Amino acid sequence: MARRTLRTWLIAPTAAFATLIGYAAAPAHAAVWSSSERWGTYTTSNGYTLYNNIWGSGAGSQTIWANSSSNWGVWAAHPDTGGIKSYPNAKKVVNKPLSALTSLTSSYNVTVPSSGDYNTSYDIWDSDYDYEVMLWMNFNGDVGALGSSQGTVTLGGHTWTVYKGDNGANEVFSFLRTSDSSAGTVNILPVLRWIKDTKGWWGNETIGDVQFGYEITSSPGGLDFRTNAFSVSSS
């Protein structure tokens, strides 16, 4: 689950300083921005926001880096324990009611590790943060969706297993792709309309953030997550 920005860090720590304070140093290829701050954020010239977002308890070290909204990644070393530690992500704000949207699509391309416990997912919020829609594109290890299974459905060019739950702060609708995908395009709008029109789980909500990133539970020893392409388009 994503958290809101608290502060911004625009200068990457040196390797020696990072080791001293227990953070991972920024990768050598991070040309534009990097941060090991828990809530480190960066806004790109084309209106995307990158967010380190280490929000869970028991987290280890994590560094996010970015050359652009479509070329960024994370080095994370979280202990082999339960519970989500972080959701480093890039987001685009849509800010349109469902009834006013004629299209909402996104493309992605990632390189993810073969070990660790994580999912690569979209996290889509209404503007009031009452509802959360997660689209899991791939996942690995000991992870699972919140709530109870609602069956399988094909929407937006993918087949999903659907879960419905509540985390105490907001309702969560999770769509887990039935086969892993590291690259592709998602037609998001049919998913959101299915929630409203077919299931009646929400009304004519205003869609706020469309986030994409890595929900990491554990990555012992340090693992690389790389976004090779990412974009969101709406009208």
Q: What residue ranges define each of the domains in the chain, with the CATH number in brackets?
A: 15-234 (2.60.120.180)
Q: Whole-number mean pLDDT of the chain?
A: 90
The secondary structure of residue 192, as a DSSP letter, is H
The secondary structure of residue 196, as a DSSP letter, is I
| Continuous segment of H or E residues that includes residue 121 | strand 117-126
Q: What is the pTM of this model?
A: 0.88
The values of phi and psi at residue 17, to 5°, are -65, -40
Six token digits for residue 76: 């994370």
CB 214 within 8 A of CB 75: no
State the Rg of the chain over Cα.
Answer: 17
* Residue labelled with tokens 């987001």: 91
Q: Give pLDDT tens digits along the chain (235 positions).
A: 544 333 223 333 333 334 333 444 445 454 699 999 999 999 999 999 999 999 999 999 999 999 999 999 999 999 999 999 999 999 999 999 999 999 999 999 999 999 999 999 999 999 999 999 999 999 999 999 999 999 999 999 999 999 999 999 999 999 999 999 999 999 999 999 999 999 999 999 999 999 999 999 999 999 999 999 999 999 9
